[in-house]
A and B are shown apart, each in its own frame.
Chain A
Amino acid sequence: MSKQLKQLGDDIWKNQVEKINSELFTLTYGSVVAQLCKDLDNNYDQVNNELYKMGYNIGVRLIDEFLQKTQLSRCTNMHETAEVVSKIGFKIFLNITPTVSHWTADNKSFGLILVENPLADFVELPNTEARKKLWYSNVLCGVLKGCLEMVQLDCDVSFLQDSLKGDENTEIRVKLNKILKDEIPAGEE
């Protein structure tokens, strides 16, 4: 299963995706985060929120492109969802493949370990409160939240650790709360 998904992700990336050098993306995101910190007076909780909202807005629209490109039907369980997110979602949008790990015993919560993170290239957090409080790449959590919600999965998505803060890994946690009532998700026919 996992192998097939990886193949699918790689094929889509190779054949269906218009690509661009990540540097403009990285610098633009950096400019956005720095501007938010300035606008919000370095209130990092608020900055985290804004980044999350920004991501959510992206996620609810990005899912259309995802479904259209992958033609995937609904996942049967969270393990499959996790693999799809990592090997296809992250692959075709950011060209990275986070490692799925640290499942909880109830199979409802997993971690995504980002070995590479194009958002955070060039970034060193200042040695201030930012290092404790700011989740620099929080936009990613918002994107996942938005996408998953659009396919009926109500999840909590948040960073557990970030190597920018000196943590050992960069890890996003995804926890399923409940499966939403059946509606036809946007973009799926």
Chain B
Amino acid sequence: MSYYFAILGTNDAPVYELEIGTYRQSGNGVPHLPNELQELEQFILNSSLDILQDNQFKDTGLFSKNLDSFYGYKILSYLTQGNGKFLIMTDLKNHDESIRQFFIEIHELYVRNLLNPFYEINQPIRSADFDTRVRALAKRYL
């Protein structure tokens, strides 16, 4: 039971990625994404982004719990006003609410990171502190 999580910038390029396993059901946080799927991550991201773009001016919410699905993996998304895009691909079922809360907390981290004058928008997020926080949130919610 695993998650692939990505943050994409306004130009749709990934600025942060994480593969992580669930901590629920006595999981230990180690991801078990099949190799085939790992290789397809970019493809899946692209096709999910297409759907996101089709919807983003019709649906005004931030969170979408059924953006797309792919061989038993579903894609959930979260979009900020400034078009920061958070995507999760997972084979876990019935964790939509936790994932939503995870996204909301990520939203805060994302904004704090953006406020830093030394961070240029759409650049990879390299702060080790940011990474530590994301992992702590993953442990709490995912």
A125 within 8 A of B: yes
A106 within 8 A of B: no
- Residues of chain B at the chain A interface (Cβ within 8 Å): 112, 115-118, 126-129
- In the docked arrangement, what's the CA distance between A128 and B116, Å? 15
A18 within 8 A of B: no
Nearest-neighbor residue (CB-CB) of B114 within chain A: A122
A27 touches B118 (CB 8 A): no
Chain A interface category by residue count: 10 to 19
- In the docked arrangement, what's the CA distance between A94 and B5, Å? 41
16 A/B residue pairs, CB under 8 Å, sorted by A: A27-B117, A30-B115, A30-B117, A31-B117, A33-B117, A34-B117, A34-B118, A37-B118, A122-B116, A122-B117, A123-B116, A123-B117, A124-B118, A124-B127, A124-B129, A125-B118
Chain A contacts with B in 26-46, Cβ cutoff 8 A: 27, 30-31, 33-34, 37
- In the docked arrangement, what's the CA distance between A31 and B118, Å? 9
- In the docked arrangement, what's the CA distance between A30 and B114, Å? 12
- In the docked arrangement, what's the CA distance between A37 and B126, Å? 19
- In the docked arrangement, what's the CA distance between A126 and B117, Å? 10
Q: A124-B127, A124-B129 are in contact. Are A130 and B118 (CB under 8 A)?
A: yes
Residues of chain A contacted by B116 (CB below 8 angstroms):
30, 122-124
User: In the complex, how many angstroms separate the beta carbon of A87 from the nearest chain B beta carbon?
Assistant: 30
Nearest-neighbor residue (CB-CB) of A23 within chain B: B115
Residues of chain B contacted by A127 (CB below 8 angstroms):
126, 128
Choose among A30, A31, A130 the residue with the greatest number of B CB atoms under 10 Å from its CB: A30
- In the docked arrangement, what's the CA distance between A31 and B114, Å? 12
User: In the complex, how many angstroms separate the beta carbon of B122 from the nearest chain A beta carbon?
Assistant: 15
Nearest-neighbor residue (CB-CB) of A35 within chain B: B117
Nearest-neighbor residue (CB-CB) of B111 within chain A: A122
- In the docked arrangement, what's the CA distance between A34 and B115, Å? 12
- In the docked arrangement, what's the CA distance between A131 and B128, Å? 15
Nearest-neighbor residue (CB-CB) of B115 within chain A: A122
Residues of chain B contacted by A33 (CB below 8 angstroms):
117
- In the docked arrangement, what's the CA distance between A125 and B112, Å? 13
- In the docked arrangement, what's the CA distance between A23 and B81, Å? 19
Residues of chain B contacted by A31 (CB below 8 angstroms):
117
User: In the complex, how many angstroms separate the beta carbon of A144 from the nearest chain B beta carbon?
Assistant: 23
- In the docked arrangement, what's the CA distance between A34 and B126, Å? 17
